[in-house]
Amino acid sequence: MTMITRGSFMKQSLIATAGVSLPWTWARAAGANDTIRVGIIGFGGRGREHISALRKVEGVKIVALCDVDAKILAKGVAEFEKRGEKVTAYNDPRKLMEDKDIDAVSTATPNHWHALLTVWACQAGKDIYVEKPAAHSIWEGRQAVKAAAKYKRIVQVGSQSRSSQGIREAVAFIRKGGLGKIKLARGLCYKRRKSIGKAEGSQPIPEGLDYNLWSGPAELVPPHRNGKFGAVHYDWHWIWRYGNGDLGNQGVHQVDIGRWFLGEKTLAPQVMSIGGRLGYEDDGETPNTQIMMLDYEKAPLIFEVRGLASAADTDNMDKYWPVKFTPAPQKAAAKAGKAAADMRSVTGGRSASDPRSSIGVIIHCENGFVSIPSYTQADIFDNDGKEIPEYKGKFKGADSHFENFIKAVRSRKTSDLNAPILEGHLSAGLCHQGNIAYRVGKKASPGEIREQVKGNQVVSEAFGRMCEHLAANGVDLAKTPAAISAWLKFDTKKEQFVDNEAANALVKDKYREPFVVPAIS
């Protein structure tokens, strides 16, 4: 086995950019009883949970940590040392990829790094668990799929709902016709997102952060935000250069579940969007209020984003329920006591007396609906909202998604994965379709939007509720109009929009050398 130096890695990376395949065969073939040695890339946020989960998986040893923030890296290494565990520290993921003692990688970097790290890991002969969304753009998601196949690597995407036995059973029940035909899949992301403020000019780069590496594939520009999380961290979600808004952040989980129930294996043939960044002016770019409609032939999938609260004088969020709902009396709710608290802990915030959701999925069927209020649970109701046999199944928690990844690493069977890269690409791609529709849309008055959507009952109803929500927050759409796109047609085989240059210009990112996602043939 030949050790490749960083210089040769860089040279071959540039060759890969030109479309030449790389004959890397660094990783050993792990046997059923071998220790799987894992390197973690990016653990300032969600990556800490990767560490916690993987440390619990039998036969796994974390041997390396990588982060471009020196403070985060030093703290992580120190935590391992306190437990008497030795790890190698890297600030550059390219160096970690060269490490022949690493079998697999787990990464939770910002979105614009996901696909490139996936391709690099595959080329380096390493398996990878990559956080959602699987990619920052449609095109690079497809390259990640091709890389996994070409280099025969195991690639799991962090869509942990796919490892919920309860949801899996509900999907099977609905697909067998348990509630008749699906009429509509609805995703909800009503999640409070306050203004990140407006910075006065470029902001200083945080001490200890390698901003060139942090920027990676994206254009190298000074940070221009200074919100709660500082000039760089977390608020990148709301900047197109790095993130995908809440549709591609929280929402990709719910979009994935909706597509799973529908059984669709392509991107949507048609998409449209309505929305805007409304209620405040800040340095964020992505919409905090949005409706996305994906028009599949079998049944449509609609998604709603709300970052503003239910009203201007509260931080409580709106809740959705498809049938008439009357909250239980306060006294009755109080009697629920610990049982209600326990129920809330497993239903993502719902109580036994309040089944409504702010974040979740509703699958509307002919003879009832399924409510998926969390990553682990699915509840089934008739058309009057009366619960019918539960399909909660057996679920050990989100950590089992990592166990599933390691199982596939050992078996070398992609079929063992609950969320393989193809599924991750398609669900992320739906979010990208919706965001692209939003970005090529045009601002219009409320009356013009109503006129444009009046032929679609589902969108029209959702827009009506969106207007009520905005009015409760003091937003006048006549003065600060939302944007609406036309219906954009999409070639699901070519993964390109039909006769729309503006939309197709956003299908693929522009990359900065040497951090270029290569075209995989």
What tens digit of pLDDT does each residue of 9-29 get?
A: 334 444 343 333 343 444 455
- pLDDT value of position 95: 97
Averaged over 78-86, what is the pLDDT? 97
Q: If pLDDT is split at 50, 70 and 90, which confidence band does 518 have?
A: very high
- pLDDT for the residue numbered 291: 98
Q: Measure the CA–CA gap between 367 and 434, rounded to whole angstroms.
A: 29
Percent of the chain topping pLDDT 70: 86
What number is the average pLDDT over the span 125-147? 98
Query: Rounded to an integer, what distance in angstroms lies between the CA atom of residue 106 and that of residue 37?
Result: 11
pLDDT at 77 over 60: yes
Q: Which pLDDT band, with edges at 50, 70 and 90, does 227 fall under?
A: confident
Element holding 20 (H helix, E strand): none
- Who wins on pLDDT, 265 or 328? 265
Q: Give yes or no for residue 115 having a pLDDT over 80.
A: yes
Q: What is the mean pLDDT of residues 30-49?
A: 88
The pLDDT value recorded for residue 394 is: 44
In sequence order, which ranges of 347-420 are alpha helices (DSSP H)? Answer: 400-411
pLDDT value at 517 more than 50: yes
Which residue has tokens 């196949």?
A: 149
Amino acid 515: pLDDT: 98
Between 62-76, 130-144, 374-388, the lowest mean confidence (pLDDT) is in 374-388
Asked if 418 contacts 401 with a C-beta cutoff of 8 angstroms, the reply is: yes
For residue 38, pLDDT beyond 90: yes
187, 208 contact by CB (below 8 A): no
Short-list 67, 115, 119, 63, CA closest to 88: 63
- Is residue 141's pLDDT more than 80? yes
Q: Which two tokens stand for residue 229?
A: 């999380």
Reported as a single tens digit per residue, the pLDDT across 60-74 is: 999 999 999 999 999
pLDDT of residue 55: 96
Average pLDDT score over residue span 150-168? 95
Residue 503 corresponds to which tokens in the numbers above? 């939309």
Q: What is the mean pLDDT of residues 214-243?
A: 93
Compute the distance between CA of residue 502 and CA of residue 316 in angstroms, rounded to an integer: 38
For residue 375, the 8-state DSSP code is S
Cα–Cα dist 379/260, whole Å: 16
Helices 421-439, 251-262: inter-axial angle, 10-degree rounding:
110
Instruction: Kindly indicate the confidence band of residue 244, based on its pLDDT and cuts at 50, 70 and 90.
Output: very high
Taking the CA atoms of 492, 511, 282 and 207 in sequence, report the sign of the dihedral they define.
positive
Residue 375 clears pLDDT 90, i.e. is over it: no
**Mean pLDDT across the stretch 285-299?**
97
Asked which of 263-267, 346-350, 483-487 is least confident by mean pLDDT, the reply is 346-350
**Residue 25 to residues 81, 101, 151, 298: CA-CA distances in angstroms?**
31, 12, 9, 43
Task: Tell me the pLDDT band of 388, cut-offs 50, 70 and 90.
Answer: confident
Measured from the Cβ of residue 391, the count of other Cβ atoms closer than 10 Å reads 21
Nearest-CA neighbor of 327 among 340, 315, 314, 339? 340
**b or e along 283-318 (b: 16 or more beta carbons within 10 Å of the residue's beta carbon)?**
bbebbbbbbbbbbbeebbbbbbbbbbbbeeeeeebb
75: left (phi over 0), alpha (psi -120 to 50) or beta: alpha
The SS3 assignment for 475 reads coil
Mean pLDDT of the chain: 89
Residue-wise pLDDT for 264-280, tens only, equals 999 999 999 999 999 99
Helix, strand or coil for residue 39? strand
Q: What is the mean pLDDT of residues 450-465?
A: 97
- Taken in order of first residue, the domains within the chain and their CATH numbers are 6-161+399-421 (3.40.50.720)
Q: pLDDT by residue (tens digit) across 170-179?
A: 999 999 999 9
φ, ψ (nearest 5 deg) of residue 348: 65, 30
For the chain, give the longest Cα–Cα distance.
71
**Which tokens belong to 119?**
């391709």
Q: In the numeric block, which tokens belong to residue 349?
A: 């915030």
Q: State which H helix or E strand residue 458 sits in.
A: helix 457-472
* The three-state (H, E, C) secondary structure of 42-75, written as one string: CCCCHHHHHHHHHHCCCCEEEEEEECCEHHHHHH
